[in-house]
């Protein structure tokens, strides 16, 4: 893809020095959330991706995000068509059944206990992605250096010890364009929303996680906030 993967932009090499700003990152997260919501809820055959992470999110010419690499994805059957796809009545099947699916740091904890792949597992991975964008650190780095998951590391800072995370995210990702209103408050609001949504998506109990439809809606509201008349970016 013309603009490479999200991972290339989150951790740019010397050849790619331009980082994505918060407006672009929110737009990318929205694209991914809407794509995952389609796979979980609207696709003729429901699909669980099983390996959602920055390297599997590619960016096209206009920076639209596309979810790729369905090599270990699972098809999902719903035991009762009147039951929500996020309920326990769903089960998955695929060529890699019986294998732990996903990448270290992004795998939902229930997969480690032998649970079938489920939409809730993708929600967990998406939540890790949100927290990674804000923290600016790979979940594997947190695991090695801090001895905890990215979820636990951020949760231990929430809500009273987030200042360093907030400031780091704003320093890395605040757009260069001028903005109407209090730009500092706007960027802090955006980062806090991403943190809180990431923590909700990565709750230990799968039943407590939102659906990707819910997540896509919340991020669409965040986009509306960024582009509201009072906060509109001045090009």
Active-site positions read 51
Element (H, E) at 40: none
Q: Number of C-alpha atoms within 13 angstroms, CB side, residue 8? A: 15
CA neighbor of 166 nearest in space, from 181, 143, 185:
185
Measured CA to CA, the distance from residue 89 to residue 192 in angstroms comes to 34
**Which residues in the chain belong to E strands, given as ranges?**
47-48, 57-59, 65-67, 74-78, 90-93
Helices 22-37 + 212-226 axis angle, to 10: 150
How many angstroms separate the CA atoms of 158 and 174, rounded?
Answer: 21
Map residue 117 onto helix, strand or coil: coil
Half-sphere exposure of 119 (CA within 13 A, CB side): 32
């Amino acid at each position: 893809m013309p603009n490479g993967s999200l991972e290339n932009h989150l951790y740019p090499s010397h050849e790619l020095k331009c980082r994505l700003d918060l407006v672009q990152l929110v737009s990318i997260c929205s694209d991914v959330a809407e794509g995952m919501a389609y796979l979980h809820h609207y696709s003729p055959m429901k699909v669980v991706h099983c390996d959602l992470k920055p390297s599997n999110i590619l960016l096209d010419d206009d920076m639209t995000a596309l979810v790729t690499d369905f090599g270990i994805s699972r098809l999902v059957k719903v035991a009762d068509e009147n039951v929500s796809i996020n309920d326990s009545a769903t089960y998955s099947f695929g060529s890699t059944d019986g294998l732990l699916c996903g990448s270290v740091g992004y795998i939902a904890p229930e997969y480690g206990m032998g649970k079938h792949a489920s939409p809730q597992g993708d929600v967990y991975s998406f939540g890790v992605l949100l927290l990674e964008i804000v923290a600016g650190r790979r979940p594997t780095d947190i695991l090695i250096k801090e001895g905890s998951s990215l979820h636990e590391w951020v949760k231990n800072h929430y809500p009273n010890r987030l200042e360093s995370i907030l400031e780091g995210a704003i320093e890395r990702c605040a757009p260069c364009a001028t903005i109407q209103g209090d730009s500092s408050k706007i960027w802090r609001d955006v980062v806090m929303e991403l943190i809180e949504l990431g923590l909700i998506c990565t709750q230990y109990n799968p039943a407590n996680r939102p659906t990707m439809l819910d997540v896509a809606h919340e991020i669409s509201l965040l986009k509306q906030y960024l582009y509201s008349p009072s906060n509109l970016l001045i090009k």
